[in-house]
A and B are shown apart, each in its own frame.
Chain A
Amino acid sequence: MAESEIDLNKTYDAVVVGSGAAGGMAAHVLTSRGLQVLMLEAGKKLPIEQELRSMEWPYNNPHRGELPPDRHALTFNEYTIRNPPYGPGFEKSKHLHSYIGSSDYVKNIVVDERENPFTGTNYAWVRARCLGGKTNIWGRLALRLSDYDFKAKSRDGFGEDWPISYSDLAPYYDKVDLYLGITGVKENLPHLPDSIFQRPTRLNCAEVTLKQSLQKMGRVLTPYRAGVTTDGLKHNKYRSRCWGRGACERKGGCDIHAAFDSPTGLIYPAADTGNLTLRTNAVVREVTVDPQTGKASGVHFIDSQTMKDYTVRGKVVIVAASTLESARLLLLSKSRLYPNGLANSSGHVGHNFCEHIMGPGVTGQVQNLVGKPSTLDDGRPGGFYLTRFRNLTEKHPKFIRGYGFEGGSGARMFPQGTDAHGFGASFKEEVRQNQGSYIGMGAFGEVLARYENYVDLDPVVKDKWGIPALRFHYKFGDNEHRMAEDMKETAQEMFEAAGFKITHVSNRVLTEGWSIHELGTARMGNDPKTSVLNQFQQSHDVKNLFVVDGSAFVNASCQNPTWTIMALCWRSCDYLADEFGKGNL
């Protein structure tokens, strides 16, 4: 990619804060429309292929793929018994990471918790400060939302409807599908619209058994809809088609970029237009405001390495720093004109914070697969997705909204079943005989967007760069806990109906944040009194300020958000470019 130096004397057409799914998409759309874009990323540009090493065998890794001894990744237990800021008690570890950073392939992608503290309620806050952010290691499940989600309030009375309908977003989902590539199978479901799919991946035998059993219950299991190009993309020279190497199972990323990531999917092609300037190690601490016009004028950032402070100017400022970081940045951008933070006349910035609850799930065994010769089961981007079935046609008596399951089955590089009792020859043989017979799934459910769940700025604690830390006021509520009970029960029922021998039922609800699907802290809406952004993710208060990431979501739905983040961002940036061209910003 062609990189150009930042010009501090220039006024860029657009300054984009963040380089993940949203920032990358903003850069793609705006540079292709001819705008001069400056992208600021807080982290480094990593030699990402060297980090991910997707095909490295564990025995060729100094710690078999696990973290070096001077690093520690927080565990579920530690998130449960400790409180933020996480750090005290781990003095022996030079670096402390969130739970996802527990592999050697991810350690430089996720942040050090001590450099980036936060306070308040327990939260597994996963942050990736590097070019591309979390898209380097995302789970790849790429789902659309439907009017069951956009108009959820009209259906059950809770929360707010989105200011858009599925028909507004559908053309942009199509654009994202075609530009980035997605694999899946058409199902014609009203609550989970189909994408324009490339070659689908197949289910293996245990998954087909489950699918057929579910059909009798009127439930739908479909091959994993992954944001992965299985046919390749003729228009993108940075990405390969998927070669079924299977390393996606290893909590790592894809070093041939068959799985979407923002740098190769969006940023490098944007740079090739000649309209993009990228500045890494730029920790943005404030969006600046012109006191005369009340409009955004640019940003202040700190060089993460030299600690030097910089100011850059832009005609439009686009915040895409991730849901919680974007809220933080708006709250940090206080001025005489905007004493509660920028774009916050409604007082809703940081509020209506929502995500997905996870934890409940089930593992079972397919008896007729025990003792069969080893098969190749992980040579694909994912196993299956079991789509939502609650509160679609019937109303559940105990909770509103729904959940889906992600799952898979078959042999893996590291076998399942090693937690079985015993040792010796029989233990060894049992692990070998059982390895291909396991099937498992875990639920992702909608956490309601409630005003009482919010983040604000901690009055005392600051990060490594002296920037006030976020403080969490966030807990799952009764609806979520009742839904989690149901997840656990239905998971067992479905496995029993399929004839699987259940080997483990997970009852525990994982720590808030575990899904890495945080959303909603600057929601869209038609009413400036109860929402932060309009339907084009444009601030109601500051018309040349856009917030284009997951913070704009009005509710979380139960579908994984990345594809929707990008479709929304594309739509908003098309509008932005139109308005920019008309001189309306």
Chain B
Amino acid sequence: MSKNEPINLKQDRRQWLKASATVLGASLLPLPAVAAKASQSEAPPAKAQSKPAGGKTVAPFFTPAQYALVEELSETIIPADSHSGGAKAAKVADYIEQELRESTDDSRKSTWHEGLRLVDLMSQHYHGKSFVDSSSEERIAVLTVLSDNDQMTDLPEVRFFRELKHLTVRGYYTSKIGIHNELEYKGNRLLLEFVGCDDPAPKSS
């Protein structure tokens, strides 16, 4: 894919959807039951399995493969850099997993299942390999297609990208790494007096 010309997502998607027509039938409707069954046969990611207040173990929302994909996607949205850790270090995928596992919004859940599948189709189409197996440049290239077309909210992969970015941002900037390491937030502590700017000190009555 060319770096200079913006991708026409609506035109391109016909190709990558067609290329995967054979697998479409099987996975277009990623039923939660299917996901749950799959997760039982494989070892679920340790963090994604948590116990709700009732003490009952709840099936994770993501399969281990999906979880790994979410980790890499979130890290591509907010990567580690020389300043601080990224989404992976901040365990954003755990936050997203919990959000979706507890969500009562079925259309949001299917946006995620469908979106993860479409992102991998895109990766196969553009680079001949899955997103997780791609280099970071290749990952950035795939998400750039979605980001550059992020107003096309009629497309499920675009809706997914916006959700991915929203939850990654939310999860990251409410994490320890996001608040303390990345933003170096100074508040939420006892303060004798707020230090303002060099305005002549306001007088009390």
Contacts and interface: CB of A to CB of B under 8 A. Distances in A.
A336 interface: no
Interface string A509-538: 000000000000000000000000000000
B76 A423 contact: yes
Nearest to A380: B194
Interface stretch (B6-14, B127-135, B182-190): B182-190
Interface string A413-430: 111001001111101110
Contacts of B105: 92
Given A64-B170, A65-B174, A376 B186 contact: yes
Contacts of A435: 183
A132 B201 CA distance: 35
B194 A379 contact: yes
B204 A379 contact: no
A114 interface: no
B42 interface: no
Max chain B C-beta neighbours (<10 A), residue from A68, A197, A244, A375: A244
A244 B173 contact: no
Interface in B78-131: 78-79, 81, 83, 86, 95, 102-105
Nearest to A68: B102
A135 to B, nearest CB: 23
A432 B205 contact: no
Nearest to A65: B174
Main secondary structure of the interface of B (DSSP, over half): loop
B3 interface: no
Contact of A413 (B170, B171, B188): B188
A218 to B, nearest CB: 18
Contacts of B143: 423-424
A197 B199 contact: no
A418 B174 contact: no
Contact of A243 (B174, B191, B202): B191
B190 A243 contact: yes
Interface in A16-66: 55, 57-59, 64-65
A414 B76 CA distance: 20
Contacts of B170: 64
A321 interface: no
B171 to A, nearest CB: 7
A414 B179 CA distance: 8
B195 to A, nearest CB: 7
A536 to B, nearest CB: 29
Contacts of B203: 185-186, 200
Nearest to B73: A423
21 contacts: A58-B174, A64-B171, A69-B102, A92-B104, A186-B203, A194-B205, A204-B196, A244-B190, A374-B183, A379-B189, A379-B191, A411-B186, A413-B188, A415-B173, A424-B76, A424-B77, A424-B78, A424-B143, A425-B79, A432-B83, A435-B183
Across the A-B interface, give the 5 residue pairs with the lowest CB-CB distance, nearest first. Answer: A202-B196, A244-B191, A376-B186, A58-B174, A205-B197
